[in-house]
Structure 1
């Protein structure tokens, strides 16, 4: 049975809903234009709302193709955009994910809460055997986020990905995963 990603998730403090084109200005303002937030990400810091619009267009195309779903993290109390989580179907049994949170919201436990909800959902799907993500070896906060969400450290991926905001060379990354035991 193929993996079907849900339209969203809810937690105690958050609503995770599918990203839409109308989110571009909020995404740009909240995190995508902030060099401190984007330094460890796989895309250059956005220079305009048009960059966020292009990002959302690729998210929509991937969702329609059934390859991934990008969820906007919004605060339950007022609907404010805080960041995003992307779930990617990598194989018929494996999900990858990525995430980012606006700097004003760091240190409040919001991303571990959102990520844990995604992991709980995946763990409840019989066809999913593995969910995983990675972070730059220097991104200690992201490593802690994954650990708090229940993922286990698996090892270092040497020269795994280029983070364009840090330079042109591939960097080492730490891999974390949830794996269904046989």
Structure 2
């Protein structure tokens, strides 16, 4: 939780990235969020959270996201198709300057073009974060068995190490399992476009 004496880290509620848009989750997103992400065992297999059993669990999740957003300790966006409103992914940010943790869950139902649009939106968010003077490090964790490691590398993250028994894998029946740690860092005082990963990393995404 952020230090009570520290200024609140403010993020944009909406981020437009061409064909896709980031915005906070709403209560009426629950059915779609359950169907394409949190209730899909293929998506949640290696996440440190249990697959949702019903829409009511997803409604409670969204309520928790809203409360955390207003508290300033965690920000969770829905990533949607700008034209159709189709839910494509969920992105979570936990700022604790000088660092921030980011997490991403992408639907299995989108095609290659939509997936690339998701990555472009993520890159836009990362570039914005790296212009914040308060942040010098953005890190992410992923399962060694999942497919996220390659995505993080394409976004400009560097592999820092393997963490033993770091988090649970409830959908695998594991109370503790390893995680891979990736990060983007910059020196204090170098915030700006030059500190951000370049767009060419997404060419083969």
User: TM-score, with normalisation over the residues of structure 2?
Assistant: 0.83
Provide the rounded CA distance (Å) in 1 between the counterparts of 2:175 and 2:116. Answer: 31
For residues 11 and 150 of structure 1, the distance between their equivalents in structure 2, rounded to whole angstroms, comes to 18
Q: Alpha-carbon deviations, 1:68-89, whole Å to 9, x = none?
A: 1110010122111112001112
Higher-Rg structure is 2
SS of aligned partner of 2:92: strand
1:96 aligns with 2:101: yes
SS in 2 for 1:116: helix
What CA RMSD, in Å, does the superposition of the two structures yield over aligned residues?
A: 1.5
Describe the SS at the equivalent of 1:104: coil
> Hey, what's the Cα distance between the residues in 2 that align with 1:164 and 1:105?
25
> Which contiguous aligned blocks of 4+ residues in structure 1 show a shift greater than 6 angstroms?
none
Structure 2 unaligned spans of 5+: 1-6, 189-205
Q: Contact 1:13–1:75 (CA<8 Å) still a contact in 2?
A: yes
Structure 1: unaligned runs, 5 residues or longer: none
Once the two structures are TM-superposed, the CA of residue 39 in structure 1 deviates from its matched residue by 0.6
Structure 1 distance, partners of 2:13, 2:65, is 13
Mapped partners of 1:170, 1:70: distance in 2:
25
Partner of 2:138: 131
How far off is 1:103 after superposition? Answer: 0.7
TM-score by length of 1: 0.92
Question: Which of the numbers 145, 154, 164 marks the counterpart of 2:170?
Answer: 164
How far apart, in 1, do the equivalents of 2:98 and 2:120 lie?
Answer: 24
